[in-house]
Each structure stands twice: as C-alpha cells, then as structure tokens.
C-alpha cells in the first residue's frame, strides 16, 4: 500500500455479520442511555427550580450529563473511539483547549460587565 487511496482505507471498515450483531447491540445500548439521560434531565429540570438551594448542584449535574451524552455521540455514533489515537487527539485536544479558554474569558468578562451596569444603573 503505497498511496493514501480512498478505496483501500474504506474497504478496511467492512465487517462481518457476526461483528455487525455486536455493533448493533452496542448502538441500541447507547440509545437507551441517551434517552434515559434526557428523560432524567427533563424530570429534574421540571421539579427543581432555579431559585432552589440545590440549583448549583443541578446545574453542574446538567453540564456533566451533557458532556456524557456528547461523549457517547462522538465516540460511538461518530466512531471516533474506533479511530487511531493520533486522529482522536488531533480532533479533540486543540478544540477543547480553545473552547475552555473562550468559556473562561467570556463568562468572566460578562459577569464583570454585568456588575458595572448594576453599579452605575442609578
């Protein structure tokens, strides 16, 4: 194999009927997990109000569950978990570093701006 040829790599993705059965089982398992998480989120969101004392816990729980859902979608449905490690890191690491920075700076600045508006509103 001397060239990066579309057909050669694509043929490698083929699998047999038995392997397919296992893969389908995994897909349905992940479906059940994603559905359960969504139902749980809505149930919690409808019962615990934002004014509640537990809201901070619930908020971080929601964010954690979202990342869990995203992980299942990216790694199983998009098959990134089955790709080479090098490719996985090329896709995920730069994105996460940049996004984390952006979240930090935007929320920090947003809060500061809000405080200034509150201070000088009168």
Partner 1 sequence: MAGHASKQIDSKTLWGGQMSPFSTSYGKLMMWFFLVSDALTFGGLLIAYGFTRHSCQDAWPIGEETFNSLPFLGHGYPLIYVALMTFILIVSSVTMVLAVEAGHRMDKKGVVKWMIATIIGGFFFVGSQAWEWSHFIHGSEFGKIELEDGSMAIVKGHFGEVENFTIFEAGRHHKVGDQITSDDMDLDHEYRHAIAEGHVENNVITLHDGSKANISKKDNEHMELMIKTDGGERKIGDHIKDHDLAAELYNKTVNAGVKGNVIFGANLEQNEYGPQQYGQFFFFITGFHGFHVFSGVIINIIICLGVIRGVYHKRGHYEMVEKTGLYWHFVDLVWVFVFTFFYLV
**Could you count the other beta carbons within 10 Å of the beta carbon of residue 27?**
11
- Of 45, 54, 57, 97, the one binding partner 1 (CB under 8 A) is 45
**Binding positions for partner 1, 48-77, rule CB under 8 A:** 49-50, 59, 62-63, 66, 69-70, 73-74, 76-77
First to last CA, the chain: 73
- Of 53, 57, 103, 120, the one binding partner 1 (CB under 8 A) is 103
* Contacts by 74-79, CB closer than 8 A, 24 or more apart: 76/26, 76/27, 76/30, 77/27, 77/30
Question: Dihedrals φ, ψ of 121, to 5°?
Answer: -65, -40
Question: Dihedrals φ, ψ of 66, to 5°?
Answer: -65, -45
* Binding-site ranges for partner 1 (CB under 8 A): 1-2, 4-7, 9-17, 19-20, 23-24, 27-28, 30-31, 34-35, 38-39, 41-42, 45-46, 49-50, 59, 62-63, 66, 69-70, 73-74, 76-79, 82-84, 86-87, 90-91, 94-95, 98-99, 102-103, 106-107, 109-111, 113-114, 117-118, 121
């Amino acid at each position: 194999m001397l060239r990066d040829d579309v057909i050669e790599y694509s043929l490698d993705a083929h699998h047999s009927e038995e392997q397919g059965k296992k893969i389908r089982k995994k897909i349905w398992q992940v479906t059940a997990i994603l559905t359960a998480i969504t139902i749980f989120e809505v149930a919690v969101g409808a019962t615990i109000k934002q004014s509640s004392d537990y809201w901070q816990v619930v908020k971080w729980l929601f964010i954690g569950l979202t990342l869990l859902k995203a992980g299942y979608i990216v790694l199983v449905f998009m098959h990134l978990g089955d790709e080479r490690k090098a490719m996985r890191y090329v896709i995920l690491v730069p994105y996460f570093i940049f996004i984390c920075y952006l979240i930090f700076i935007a929320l920090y600045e947003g809060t500061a701006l809000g405080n200034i508006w509150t201070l000088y509103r009168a």
